[in-house]
Amino acid sequence: MLGEEQISLSSSAFVSDAIFFMKRNNIRRIVVRDNQETYGVFTVDEALHHILEGTVDIKLIEARKKKPIAEEDFDLKRIVSRMVKENSDFVLVDKKIVTEKDVVKSFDWDLVDEVVSSISNEGIVIPPYTRLFTAIEIMVKKGVRHLVIGEKEPMGVLSARDVVFSYGEIGLNAETSSFIQPSLVSVSGDMKLREAVKIMLSRNVGAVVVREDQVKLFTLRDLIKVISKHM
């Protein structure tokens, strides 16, 4: 069955509590709920805003939250349709939360014959000496979750999850070079999408660098759009 059990926090918890709770449980989304009333879903996207604004000391009832998108059953076609229509990376079904990664894992990629270059988009590149605060500003302003770290060549990818999970440990004046991993996850533009998805899932990343003339990426969101066309 699709999805994982929903993890929730009371609306009286603080944003800082939610951030540390996400890190401890290695999750990107928390349902904000009191008894049977659901107020919304707090994700790494909202956490970025509050870190940037310096407002992690407010309660979740006052914090930014996403609308709780819900479906009655685990019909994959309807779930994908809601994700695309609502521009949402999750759907709540009963007591579970179905994410983009859950959908990508469950889809039969042998049905897809496209290559990676057909869905990749130009990435935003920042030099490794960029301050973390500046990187967060770019993410929030551009509405993206991934930035490519590099100069002449890509060196790494900074994700919203990386930023949120490092909160309290790495200062906002730190350079983004501290987030560069030893092995960059990248593929060629002419690779079949089905093969690239296997690499993405095995490395447990939300974005993959595409090696072309320009620095490009494809993300889980791009894959959801592909799935919607094949259903």
Instruction: Map out the domains of the chain with their CATH numbers.
Output: 4-106 (3.10.580.10), 111-229 (3.10.580.10)
What are the tens digits of pLDDT across the range 43-55? 999 999 999 999 9
Q: Would you state the pLDDT for residue 166?
A: 95
Q: Please count the other Cβ atoms lying within 10 Å of the Cβ belonging to residue 78.
A: 15
What are the tens digits of pLDDT across the range 52-108? 999 999 999 999 999 999 999 999 999 999 999 999 999 999 999 999 999 999 999
Residue range 28-44: mean pLDDT, rounded = 96
Q: Would you state the pLDDT for residue 128?
A: 96
**Is 132 in contact with 39 (CB distance < 8 Å)?**
no
Distance CA 94, CA 5 (A): 9
What are the tens digits of pLDDT across the range 172-220? 999 999 999 878 999 999 999 999 999 999 999 999 999 988 899 999 9
Crossing angle of helices 44-53 and 132-142, in 10° steps, is: 120
Q: Would you state the pLDDT for residue 213?
A: 83
Q: The pTM is what?
A: 0.93
What are the tens digits of pLDDT across the range 113-139? 999 999 999 999 999 999 999 999 999
Query: Can you state the percent helix, strand and coil of the chain, rounding each to 5?
Result: 40, 25, 35
Q: Would you state the pLDDT for residue 181?
A: 83
Q: Would you state the pLDDT for residue 2?
A: 85
Residue range 134-147: mean pLDDT, rounded = 96
Element spanning 97, H or E = strand 96-99
Residue range 127-153: mean pLDDT, rounded = 95
- Please, which pLDDT band fits residue 1 given cuts at 50, 70 and 90? low
